[in-house]
Amino acid sequence: MNIIDLRSDTVTQPTQAMRDAMATAVVGDDVFDDDPTLHELEDYAAKLLGKEAAVFVTSGMQGNACALLAHTRRGDCVVIDPHSHIADHEAGSYAQLAGVSLRFPNSVNGTMDPASVRACLTDDRDPQIAPATLVVLENAHSTGAVVSVASMEAVYQVAHAAGAGVHLDGARLFNAAAALGVTDVRELTQYCDTVMCCLSKGLCAPVGSILAGPKALIWRARRARRILGGGMRQAGILAAAGLIALRDMTARLPDDHANAAYLGDLLDQIDGITVARDRLAIDMVFFDADWAADKAARYPDWMRAHGVKVTGCMNGEYRMVCHHDIARADCDTVAALLRTFAAEG
Ligand SMILES: *Cc1c(COP(=O)(O)O)cnc(C)c1O
């Protein structure tokens, strides 16, 4: 049976073109700065993202950790959305690796109130208060929403006026750009100093992310990557797939968004299910269900028995993610199944 896997866009298989490119990639030892395919990826990514330099990292988490280590010193404070990936889903690495604390401005689905960000940006004069040296934006946001260009600009201006840097967690940066109708992603990345984007989610590369920014910060990030065990050898094998991700896979993301919107419409019509339409901007559908605890607990196994992989209830809601390996017809199949499950009591 063909399995429909809606757990995340991270489950995407590398395309045949990626597998072919990986098999024939010219490689060297990147720790000796000797891998031509990796150089090609880093140069391409830096240009695409409008930054001086870029470094290939093993994962989005490693990219974010390198960014924190590059921007901050131990004891600094980072201003960030409380429901961001770094705050919520990176096992507290900001504290354990970078030794920084977090401060939360008023924020709704990743859109931060600039005045509140300003109030969080304390300087180094009061010994009672950790100095805030970095603001982190996340776009697209983990809740499925996107942050407008104007909002990014406002936060960036406030941060820079206070002497703080800005890092953009753009794990799904190209999804955000597509959802905002932005054709050149530099319209977004002009409002950050460093940006991380994942090659391994909707873009289908098997492994890896990019961290881009000014030369001096990327140099510090390179040392941080080394400390984190991210100095790779024939990494050009991975870079070959990453190049295809950036060159060929961003243009099709609107298909995933259209499928998610379509799936969201179908699910919203099912009794007892309410789709979070205000957060249906990219490839993710979030919904509430009025199911009792035992029914909620049976849901993932029931779906799995019918050929669909889903995650269970997380923070009181459910999520399905569309991606390269999900077709429009799969959305119909899944909605029909969920209708049956919801009705079965
Ligand atoms: C997935 C994700 C990450 C981490 O990426 P990994 O490659 O899974 O480590 C970071 N930030 C956001 C917003 C993400 O969605």
Greatest CA separation for the chain: 64
Contact residues of ligand 1, CB 6 A cut-off: 59-61, 64, 85, 138, 142, 169, 171-172, 198, 200, 209
For residue 2, what pLDDT is reported?
86
The type of residue at 80 is: I
Cα separation, 74 vs 76, whole angstroms: 6
Cα separation, 266 vs 256, whole angstroms: 15
Cα–Cα distances (Å) from 103 to 79, 81, 100, 130, in that order, read: 5, 8, 10, 10
For residue 344, what pLDDT is reported?
87
Q: pLDDT of 158-213, one tens digit each?
A: 999 999 999 999 999 999 999 999 999 999 999 999 999 999 999 999 999 999 99
Mutate to test the pocket of ligand 1, among 9, 56, 61 (most ligand atoms within 8 A of CB): 61
Measured in angstroms, how far is the CA atom of residue 136 from the centroid of ligand 1? 14
> Are 132 and 164 within 8 A, CB to CB?
yes
Cα separation, 48 vs 185, whole angstroms: 7
Q: What is the 8-class DSSP label of residue 138?
A: E
Task: Phi first, then psi: give them for residue 104, nearest 5 degrees.
Answer: -105, 115
**What stretches of the chain adopt beta strand conformation (E)?**
4-5, 53-57, 77-80, 101-103, 107-108, 111-112, 132-138, 165-169, 194-198, 209-213, 273-275, 284-289, 308-309, 318-321
**Residue in this structure with the two tokens 């689905």, named with its chain if needed:** 109
Digits of tens for pLDDT over the chain (345 positions)? 689 999 999 999 999 999 999 999 999 999 999 999 999 999 999 999 999 999 999 999 999 999 999 999 999 999 999 999 999 999 999 999 999 999 999 999 999 999 999 999 998 899 999 999 999 999 999 999 999 999 999 999 999 999 999 999 999 999 999 999 999 999 999 999 999 999 999 999 999 999 999 999 999 999 999 999 999 999 999 999 999 999 999 999 999 999 999 999 999 999 999 999 999 999 999 999 999 999 999 999 999 999 999 999 998 999 999 999 999 999 999 999 999 999 986
For residue 118, what pLDDT is reported?
98
**Against a cut of 0.95, is the pTM above it?**
yes
Residue nearest atom 3 in ligand 1 by C-alpha distance: 60
